[in-house]
Structure 1
Amino acid sequence: MVVMFILNLTVFSHVQHLVSQQRLSDEFRAQLAAGTAPVSEGDFNDVLLADGVPVGILEIPSIGMYEVIVEGTSSAETATGIGHQRDTVLPGQSGVTKLAGRAAAYGGPFSGISSLSPGDTITVRTGQGLQQFEVLGLRYAGDPTPPNPVPGESRMILMTARGAPYIPTGVAYVDARLVSETQDAGARQTTPITLPPEAKPLATDTTTVWALVFALQFLLVIEVAAVWAFRRFGAQRTWIVFLPVLLLAGFLVADQTTRLLPNLL
């Protein structure tokens, strides 16, 4: 289980992220072509967006990053792409946008944002067109924050884990300001008060613990069956039949355990 956990965190999670990004990119580009890409917290039919749906495409040329943005910032959402914090406006709209991304696991899309310099360009493709931002600077907890935006101004804050890979010690923030035309802000139903605790930076999500319990039960049943088969049919037949199933069960447990880690890891 320990080996599977390490492999899942350092190898398999990146594969999962790559597959998710391809699917999300295809879905969002289809919405752009049809003119149905979301511009608020509701979809084209004013139905509240589900967690994990695509809302934009983020590109930072200076660090070679191209990533689909999804709605929500809990561990499940940041495993698939850059997460948009629900209580903030979409990129390019009047106000402040907050985007959360992982620094190491699941593709580590924000692993390089600490190297960004003032003046670097960030672009975001949304349902309202191409939004262009300019980096203001990097800061950590306790550092002075930029002044609040004036009415009609658009800002963006990128957030990721600070510290050695897979060992977060805090949160790093990159501030950017919109240099293209500001877009109208869509209606937001989520507020800072109603934002779930698991959606905050470096938060853990325990809402899927039930899935970990079922995965552990599945692993236990397979182990018991393997012991019985070993005594009944011998080692060779048991290994041939049960090794793939045990690996699958171990992967399921490792995957659910990884999802309990901080959302910026």
Structure 2
Amino acid sequence: MTAVEELPVAETPKETPKETAAPTPPPASTNLPLRAAGVALGLLGVFVLGFLAYLAVLSPLQHDRDQITRYADFRKELAEGTAPVAPPIAAGKSVAILEIPRLGLREVVVEGTTSADLTHGPGHRRDTPLPGQPGISVILGRAGAYGGPFGDLGKLHTGDVITVITGQGLASYTVSGTGPSILPPVPGSSTLVLVTADSGVAPRGEALVTARLTSQPVAGNSAEAPRIHRSEVGLSGDLGALVPLLLWAEALLLAVGLTTFSYLRWSKWPTYVISSPVLLAVLWNIYESLARLLPNTL
């Protein structure tokens, strides 16, 4: 038999897969607004968190430092007999030491009740007599920020003792009531009213404590009481902080611009060392101005 040679079978060429074209990236002009918006939102979030941290952590430290300094200075004034006892008294001047044993509270009281005044401690309302004098003496204090010295006023009960030391001596009071309004004073008596916000976060009204003087009243001032501004009553912000806030905001923009320029044109580490304290100082002043716009007893 003759062997039949097998003819070679031609192989069918395989189709090569078509390469998938890479997607064309969107033009840079489209990404730029989105990136700018993302950066802006991120910076805004950091700014807000920084402000909350200032109110919750840094402002109590600032209050404690002020109180330590004021307590030492006011005790010296009491010993020398130079503590103020009658108007005119400069705003922010220390006028009394308030003590509430049940709350473990001891605070130096300053003159004035604006939001800026109450960053240092409780404030004496200027149109009322000083504690210990005849009439209704009113002291405002914060419930949350800057140490929240009056945050626990709701824990006081009828009969609790409150003492106030002024340049005229020690005045003792007994709590006669708590609530959202002042109890009618007994004719001819001296009354102390402590006022704060009903919440240290989102206040809706005021919380008050009324106390009657149990020690002998001291001589009052016969001069006409000064008029106060709207910013000195409870739950009022200080619109006078708007101008400093705008100026510090401009300073922040300038500082950020110079810092960015230095990062691009200079070494990063020296820029960081120099710019960080400046930026933190400017932010601190911005946060202080913003805090003044909040209710004064918050």
TM-score, scaled relative to structure 2: 0.81
Aligned residue among 201, 212, 221 for 1:177: 212
Check the 8 A contact 1:24/1:54 in 2, yes or no.
yes
Q: How many residues align?
A: 252
Q: Percent same amino acid at aligned positions?
A: 38
Worse overlay, 232-241 or 210-219? 232-241
Check the 8 A contact 2:241/2:290 in 1, yes or no.
no
Structure 1 position 102, deviation (Å): 0.3
TM-score, scaled relative to structure 1: 0.90
1:124-203 map, 5 Å = 124-141=164-181, 145-151=182-188, 153-163=189-199, 165-191=200-226, 194-203=227-236
Aligned residue among 226, 236, 242 for 1:209: 242
Partners of 1:91 and 1:107 in 2: CA distance = 23
Structure 1 position 249, deviation (Å): 1.8
Partner of 2:92: 52
Gaps of 5+ in 1: 42-47
Matched, 1:8 2:54: yes
Structure 1 position 255, deviation (Å): 1.6
Worse overlay, 122-131 or 247-256? 247-256
Partners of 1:21 and 1:101 in 2: CA distance = 13
Partners of 2:116 and 2:106 in 1: CA distance = 20
Partner of 2:82: 36
Partners of 2:185 and 2:102 in 1: CA distance = 26
The verdict on how the C-alpha distance between 1:190 and 1:207 changes in structure 2, with shifts beyond 3 A counting, is: farther
Provide Cα deviations, 1:26-61, integer angstroms capped at 9, x if missing partner: 2211111111212212xxxxxx21101011100000
Partner of 1:44: none
Matched, 1:228 2:238: no
Gaps of 5+ in 2: 1-46
Structure 1 position 166, deviation (Å): 2.2
Structure 1 position 197, deviation (Å): 0.8
Structure 1 position 149, deviation (Å): 2.8
Matched, 1:82 2:122: yes
Over the aligned positions, Cα root-mean-square deviation in angstroms equals: 1.5
Provide Cα deviations, 1:96-152, integer angstroms capped at 9, x if missing partner: 0000000011111101111100000000011111110000111115xxx4233312x
Partners of 1:190 and 1:217 in 2: CA distance = 40
Worse overlay, 78-87 or 204-213? 204-213
- For the residue of structure 2 that corresponds to 1:106, the secondary structure is coil
- For the residue of structure 1 that corresponds to 2:142, the secondary structure is coil
Decide which structure has the larger Cα Rg and report it. Answer: 2
Check the 8 A contact 1:95/1:149 in 2, yes or no.
no
Check the 8 A contact 2:100/2:106 in 1, yes or no.
yes
- For the residue of structure 2 that corresponds to 1:259, the secondary structure is helix
Check the 8 A contact 1:205/1:260 in 2, yes or no.
yes
Check the 8 A contact 1:40/1:187 in 2, yes or no.
no
Provide Cα deviations, 1:205-233, integer angstroms capped at 9, x if missing partner: 11132221221111111111112112212
Structure 1 position 235, deviation (Å): 4.4
Check the 8 A contact 1:17/1:107 in 2, yes or no.
yes
Which protein has greater RCO, CA pairs closer than 8 Å, 6+ apart? 1
Partners of 1:246 and 1:37 in 2: CA distance = 39
Check the 8 A contact 1:69/1:82 in 2, yes or no.
yes
Check the 8 A contact 2:55/2:146 in 1, yes or no.
yes
Check the 8 A contact 2:158/2:177 in 1, yes or no.
yes
Partners of 2:118 and 2:286 in 1: CA distance = 19
Partners of 1:157 and 1:188 in 2: CA distance = 21
Matched, 1:244 2:277: yes
Provide Cα deviations, 1:71-98, integer angstroms capped at 9, x if missing partner: 1000111110110000101111110000
Structure 1 position 19, deviation (Å): 1.4
- For the residue of structure 1 that corresponds to 2:204, the secondary structure is strand
- Hey, which of these two has a bigger chunk of strand by percent? 1
